[in-house]
Amino acid sequence: MTSEIFIIRPATPADYSAVVACIEAAFSKWVPIMSGMKPLALTADYHAHIESGATYVMEGNTKRELAGLLILWQEDDALYLDTIAVNPAYQKHGLGQRLLAFTEQKAREMGLEKITLVTNEKMVANQEYYVKNGFVETHRHALHEGRVGVWMRKTLAAS
């Protein structure tokens, strides 16, 4: 399986169930690590994200399955990466790298030089993944419900 064979496209309302299934598959593993608290990705309004045009899906091997997805929007002078998810059935094949590359491409198309994101402090593996991919931590801040967010940023090299 190579990442190039997977198509990334804007999500449509017909993708809603597949988006939710992909999110649940990718983020449910964090619930025990977060002491039973659901990651915010498991509580988001995906109808709204799809309707706003913020959601991009990576098609899987069947019509009802996604290999991965992104939720992106411009926030100030950066592209905000709200969610990146790879279905566990498709992990370890470079799809996360492909989704990050797509995010960088979108930022450049929009004339933006930064990508920002927030992850949970308990999601250490995600933080390490982002650092490995050029992100730096900018700060931590307590969020609602006892959560601590880790803000990260990647400055894009001039193309």
Q: Which CATH number do you get for residue 61?
A: 3.40.630.30
Q: How far is CA 70 from CA 43, 55, 65, 104, 158, in A?
A: 16, 6, 15, 12, 23
Q: Where are the alpha helices (DSSP H) in the chain?
A: 16-27, 30-33, 46-51, 95-109, 124-132
Domain ranges, residue 128: 3-155
Domains held by the chain: number: 1
* Residues 26-54: tens digit of each pLDDT: 999 998 888 888 888 899 999 999 999 99
What's this model's pTM, rounded to 2 decimal places? 0.92
Position of tokens 């190039």? Answer: 4
Position of tokens 């498991």? Answer: 42
Q: Alpha-carbon distance 76 to 96, whole Å?
A: 25
Whether residue 2 has pLDDT greater than 70: no
